[in-house]
Amino acid sequence: MIEQEYAYYSGCSLEGTASSYDRSIRLILKALGVTLREPDDWSCCGSTPAHAMDHLLAGALAARNLAIVERMETATLTTPCPACLSAFKKAHARATEDRAFKDEVNQLLDIPYEGGVKAKSTLQVIYEDVGLEAVASKVTTVLPDLKAACYYGCILSRPPRLAAFDDPENPISMDRLLAACGVEVCDFAFKTECCGAAFGVPKKEMVLRLTHKVLTMVEDCGANCVVVACPLCQQNLDLRQAQVNRAMGSSFSIPILYFSEVLGLAFGYTPEELGLDKHIVSTDALIRSRRSKEAEETVSTVKEKVKKSAAQGTAGKSGNAPGPEDTASATKEA
Amino acid sequence: METIHLTSDTLNNFASEVSEATGQDMVRCYQCGNCTAGCPYTEFFDYPVSQIMRMIQTGQREKALSSKAIWLCATCETCSTRCPCEIDVADVMDGLRNIAYREKRFTEKDIRTFYEAFLTSLRNHGRIFELEIIARYNLKSGHLLTDADLGPKVMKQLHFLPKRIKGRENVARIVKRFMEKR
């Protein structure tokens, strides 16, 4: 069922290096009829540095935002960023399971958190609440050159009892959303391998090695782009790709797109509207061949007719991209 | 080889302390090694994560809290996802970092410097300001040229002024109250 309204927490990255993630999310959800309301005066979730320092500090920094959302009319919070999501889910779980922890957190806050906010990733909202059918119905544009490796990163569906979304080892939500848009999806083995996370600045050599492994697997599976749902994954794979090439002697030139950008392109938005010019590895060549679905259908109908008249009655697959059903059989059932 | 004398004290104290901090039951770990097998960071660790788990069980507090491993863990949750005993291993690593933080044991100084640059930015503006974090890190760590090569490319993604929220005093108070408490 579609819940019409969500509290939308974009997070700090989406105001800075990941601004195209924010723009594309807002555009596609508007197209899908979902209203996003920004919590008034939200603050940073605390992210990795806060929970590394102290669970109480992390809990309080996250709960300040949960308390703001709790006072809005909508009870469901959605964020595109898996790190923010994890901070909110952990703070909520600790506060609701441990009375003493909740009291301690509230002693640090000006406005207390009572424990009534459910958090979901925006990917989960689109996949579960909006649904594949509604997404497919908005598709106006085909992207024939994309061969996508869907890279979920480490914490979007893990640990399973906290994330409560998709499969922890072989998630399929992005694969299916892309397939619903007619995009070819590759069988990618490193869907949840870690890219090096927040260590890009203080432990660069570690991030470059891990990111190199991910990009190598992307090439090996036959993909020509990576589709992500995490601003940190995007940053490590895209912004640091040249650093990977220098350090590891590789020569990758693989565009790294947010899933919402791909959906946006399929819905007919222009690369400029979506903010694709912000990418470091250019997406131009990859999306140059995109064309309207009607044109694609006309082309494939003509092709079909030619084929039919050439070899009478030969049954062949049309040039059309697969629908959701086709992928469902290709990927593991949830 | 180092010999460790196990007494009921060494066996109980540290494990209880970690349990208290994380809510995880250390006794349940039977050293299957599944956490280490899946850990993407093992090649960088001084001790693999299953050995850290064993150190907790055998009361080797000093060794565990001064390890590099607890700082290099990225909380990617692979270990927590795969533990057959349902121990949230990543949370245990996080709990050890929390204890190390309180005792000011910073085996990986650059990581600490980065975290503090992040939290300073958060405290100052209510939201983080990416450019300030990298500038502060480069100055404090002495690695002045970190990511300087990204300069021209990253410019189109960055904003050049912090997004100051109205409630930044409110956020600063959270941090202040926390510091007083600890």
Judge: B157–A277 Cβ closer than 8 Å, yes or no: no
Residue in the structure block whose two tokens are 């957190």: A105
Beta-bridge partner residues of A258: A228
Chain A interface disruption, residue of B118, B150, B158, B168, most A CBs within 10 A: B118
d(CA A19, nearest CA chain B) in Å: 7
The pLDDT score that the predictor gives to residue B2 is 76
Residue B73 CB-density burial (10 A; 0-12 exposed, 13-18 middle, 19+ buried): buried
Q: Looking at residues A42-56, what average pLDDT do you find?
A: 97
Spatial separation of the C-alpha atoms in residues A208 and B147, rounded to whole Å = 13
Q: Which two tokens stand for residue A48?
A: 């990795």
Spatial separation of the C-alpha atoms in residues A232 and B64, rounded to whole Å = 29
The pLDDT score that the predictor gives to residue A23 is 98
The one-letter amino acid at B4:
I
Residues B21/A58, Cβ–Cβ less than 8 Å: no
Is the pLDDT at A320 greater than 80? The verdict is: no
- Look at residues B21, B16, B13, B42 and name the one whose alpha carbon lies nearest to residue B88: B21
Divide the 182 residues of chain B into consecutive groups of 10 and give the mean pLDDT of each group.
Answer: 75 89 94 98 98 96 97 98 98 98 97 97 96 96 94 85 93 97 86
Is the pLDDT at A193 greater than 80? The verdict is: yes
Spatial separation of the C-alpha atoms in residues B52 and B50, rounded to whole Å = 5
Q: Which two tokens stand for residue B164?
A: 């100051």
Is the pLDDT at A328 greater than 80? The verdict is: no
A264 CB-near residues (< 8 Å, 6+ apart): A24, A27, A28, A273, A274
Contacts of A242 in chain B (CB under 8 A): 149, 153
Is the pLDDT at A133 greater than 90? The verdict is: yes
The pLDDT confidence band at residue A330, using thresholds 50, 70 and 90, is very low
Q: What percent of chain A has pLDDT over 70?
A: 93
Dihedral angle of Cα A51, A55, A57, A58, to the nearest 10 degrees: 50
Q: Looking at residues A225-239, what average pLDDT do you find?
A: 98
Q: Which two tokens stand for residue A286?
A: 């990859």
Is the pLDDT at A229 greater than 70? The verdict is: yes
Total CB pairs under 8 A between chain A and B: 171
The pLDDT confidence band at residue A313, using thresholds 50, 70 and 90, is low
pLDDT tens string A70-85 = 999 887 999 999 999 9
Is the pLDDT at A269 greater than 50? The verdict is: yes
Query: What's the pTM?
Result: 0.92
Q: Looking at residues A220-231, what average pLDDT do you find?
A: 98
B95 Cα distance to chain centroid: 8
